[in-house]
Amino acid sequence: MGPTGALQSYILAETMDERVAVVAVKFYELWRKAHGPDASPDIQTCRKFIKSSVWKEALLFANGELHRLKDEVTVKRENNIARDVMLNGADVELKLKLDDLL
């Protein structure tokens, strides 16, 4: 797989593990090209190459979770405010219908 193939596969990957796997495969291809088909990279070198892609995917996931939570909290708060407006509106109407305070 050449550079454009790897890039297209990364762009087309639908999940974070697919995208990280594409980066890992690209690293391995580059490593074999530079060091020979039987050479294996060490863990530290591999970690250094894929670190930013792993962090990017983790951060995107965390950001998505924050937005989901924010949306849930916002909807709950909006519902609570709407309920309170209705309850207080009903109380206002009741008080306006009173003829006396006794």
User: Where are the chain's structural domains?
Assistant: 3-97
Tell me the whole-structure pTM to 2 decimals.
0.61
- Opening angle at CA 77, ends 75 and 80, nearest 5: 110
pLDDT digits (tens, 9 = 90+) for 80-89: 999 999 999 9
> How far, CA to CA in Å, does 54 sit from each of 34, 46, 51, 58, 63?
23, 12, 5, 6, 14
Q: How far apart, in whole angstroms, are the C-alpha atoms of residue 15 and residue 54?
A: 12
pLDDT digits (tens, 9 = 90+) for 35-92: 998 989 999 999 999 899 899 999 999 999 998 888 999 999 999 999 999 999 999 9
| Pair of tokens at residue 7 | 């890039």
Q: How far apart, in whole angstroms, are the C-alpha atoms of residue 75 and residue 52?
A: 34
